[in-house]
């Protein structure tokens, strides 16, 4: 039996605003009248938006540290983390497509009230922690690129974020196009970095597939890479974004839509994986021999310019700025989905924006180290991450939720092992942070 698909209250974009052309193309694709890339295009967007969570400023901090300290030797960790991310984002999208509801809504319907309230509160705390890294990253990039104070950079980041979010009023397509363009900018910047920075491609290929943990400190950094990769808010968000598409009318269309979604996940998160690998490789080329202790993003930029030239420094700042602004937009979208799903309430975007950036302004006002604050925010996320991962795994395996689309045993074992590994690694990260 297939669960009934209905238009939920949890989608982010306003209903009825998708263009007639997009709807027509989507219907043609679901009916099999469009094939190949043309069939996939009307459904591109959800995974692209979710992929921003895998390229946020928190990833910059951990990847720079990994490349500077250990060169290429932790590339395999980035690859493994990206593969797990693909699996769970595909699970989240499939859950939304099959049930017509997002992960937060299903948790509210299926779990006891105390669990639901706990998950919602934890998710809101995670939203603030996520915004802290994203907002500070964007502000730091604005400050370095435009010679502004950190406070002025934060105000500029806030205005840029709100301007992009305002596109929601025109429907989901303009918003997705803007975020997709920002993803393209990040990818182009790091492609440029790889072309500028000299690389030992043979060594990079070797360490991409041969696991190696040189010492205890490398294990801590590896755990940090994994902890900064799987983001709680993208698991909630992706299941909600799939609902802003033309709904399938029958089982054949539903299966076709799941296939389209899986392909988009592979492409979008493949790009995110490339960016993360490029971050580590660039840091290895620029800092591993001359500055292996590099951990600060601002210092990384100031060191990068004399080592690789001003073009490399400019590309780094543009990528960081784009990452900070776009991930801040996506974080706000995820917060809306979480609140609507768990408690059926929706705040105006500017109110949510104001609430979640308070910690970032507090960090600047108190004179705290920006990079340390960004790393600390990843520790907070480590506490929250097990909740959506376990919930997603449980719901995806239940036939009363997914019907014939329930996860089969081999994939349950793989996803379960990945969940145990991620939860264990994040627990280690938390322990190491306070040890």
Considering the domain boundaries, does residue 1 fall inside one?
no
pLDDT of 4 higher than 50: no
* 49 belongs to a structural domain: yes
- DSSP assignment of 344-358 equals S----HHHHHHHHTH
Range with lowest mean pLDDT among 41-45, 77-81, 266-270: 41-45
13 phi-psi bin (left φ>0, alpha ψ -120 to 50, beta other): beta
Instruction: Give the count of domains, the chain.
Output: 1
Q: What tens digit of pLDDT does each residue of 378-427 get?
A: 667 777 888 899 999 999 999 999 989 999 999 999 999 988 988 887 77
Q: Tokens representing 13?
A: 């974009």
Identify whether 298 is part of a domain: yes
**Is 15 a member of any domain?**
no
Where in the sequence is the domain holding 270, given as residue range(s)?
Answer: 45-434
Q: Judge whether 226 lies within some domain.
A: yes
Give the CATH number, domain containing residue 127.
1.20.1740.10
Token pair 């010492």: residue = 215
The DSSP line for 297-313 is: HHHHHHHHHHHH-HHHH
pLDDT mean over 76-98: 93
Distance CA 334, CA 49 (A): 10
Q: Mean pLDDT over all residues of the chain?
A: 83
What confidence tens digit (pLDDT) does each residue in 110-127 have? 999 999 999 999 888 888
In a domain, 3, yes or no: no
pLDDT of 178-234, one tens digit each? 898 999 999 999 999 888 988 999 999 999 999 998 887 888 788 878 877 778 889
Is 21 domain-assigned? no
Taking Cα atoms as reference points, which of 56, 54, 62, 52 lies closest to residue 296?
A: 62
Per-residue pLDDT of 256-268, as tens digits, reads 888 888 999 999 9
- What is residue 435's DSSP assignment? -
- Residue 257, token pair as written in the block: 């839509």
Q: In sequence order, what are the residues at sequence separation of 6 or more whose Cβ sits closer than 8 angstroms to the Cβ of residue 38?
A: 25, 29
Would you say residue 19 lies in a domain?
A: no
């Amino acid at each position: 039996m297939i669960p009934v698909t209905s238009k939920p209250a949890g989608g982010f974009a306003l209903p009825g605003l998708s263009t007639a052309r997009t709807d027509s193309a989507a219907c043609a694709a679901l009916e099999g009248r469009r094939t190949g890339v043309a069939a996939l295009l009307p459904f591109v967007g959800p995974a692209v938006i979710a992929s921003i969570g895998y390229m946020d400023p928190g990833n910059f901090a951990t990847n720079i540290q990994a490349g500077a300290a250990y060169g290429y030797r932790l590339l395999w960790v980035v690859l493994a983390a990206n593969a797990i991310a693909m699996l769970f984002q595909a699970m989240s999208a499939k859950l939304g497509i099959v049930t017509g509801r997002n992960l937060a809504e299903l948790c509210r319907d299926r779990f006891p009230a105390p669990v639901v309230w706990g998950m919602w509160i934890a998710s809101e705390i995670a939203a603030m922690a996520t915004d802290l890294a994203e907002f500070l990253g964007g502000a730091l990039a604005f400050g370095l690129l435009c010679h502004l104070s950190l406070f002025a950079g934060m105000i500029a980041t806030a205005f840029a974020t709100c301007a992009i979010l305002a596109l929601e009023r025109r429907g989901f397509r303009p918003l997705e196009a803007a975020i997709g363009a920002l993803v393209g900018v990040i990818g182009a910047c790091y492609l440029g970095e790889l072309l500028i920075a000299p690389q030992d491609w043979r060594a990079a290929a070797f360490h991409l597939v041969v696991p190696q943990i040189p010492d205890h400190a490398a294990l801590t950094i590896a755990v940090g890479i994994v902890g900064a990769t799987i983001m709680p808010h993208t698991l909630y968000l992706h299941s909600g974004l799939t609902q802003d598409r033309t709904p399938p009318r029958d089982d054949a269309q539903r299966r076709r839509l799941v296939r389209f979604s899986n392909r988009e996940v592979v492409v979008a998160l493949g790009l995110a994986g490339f960016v993360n690998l490029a971050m580590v490789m660039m840091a290895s080329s620029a800092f591993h021999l001359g500055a292996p202790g590099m951990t600060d993003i601002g210092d990384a930029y100031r060191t990068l310019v004399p080592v690789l030239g001003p073009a490399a420094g400019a590309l780094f700042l543009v990528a960081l700025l784009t990452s900070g602004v776009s991930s801040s937009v996506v974080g706000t979208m995820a917060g809306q989905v979480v609140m609507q799903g768990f408690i059926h309430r929706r705040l105006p975007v500017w109110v949510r924006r104001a609430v979640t950036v308070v910690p970032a302004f507090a960090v600047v006002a108190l004179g705290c180290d920006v990079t340390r604050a960004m790393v600390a925010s990843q520790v907070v996320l480590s506490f929250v991450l097990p909740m959506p991962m376990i919930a997603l795994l449980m719901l995806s395996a239940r036939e009363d939720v997914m019907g014939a689309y329930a996860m089969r045993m081999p994939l349950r074992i793989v996803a379960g092992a990945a969940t145990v590994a991620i939860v264990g690694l994040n627990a280690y990260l938390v322990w190491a942070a306070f040890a």
